[in-house]
Structure 1
Amino acid sequence: MNREMMKSLNLKYTKKREVILKILEQSNTPMTAEDIFTLTSKELHMSFSTVYRSLSALTEKNVIMKELRQDGKTYFQINSHNHKHHIICTVCGEVTPIDQCPLHELENKLTQQTGYQITGHNLEFCGICPKCSKQAHNK
Structure 2
Amino acid sequence: MVEVPESLQSLFSATVEKRGETYTLEVPQTEVDHGAISPGETYRIGVLTQRQSSTKTADERTAQEQPAPSERNSGPPTPPVTEGEVRDVTIETVGDQGDGIAKVERGYVVIIPGAQPGDEPTIEIDQVQENVAFASVVDTGPQSL
Bin the TM-score by the shorter chain: under 0.3
TM-score (norm 2): 0.23
TM-score (norm 1): 0.24
Determine which structure has the larger helix proportion and give its number.
1
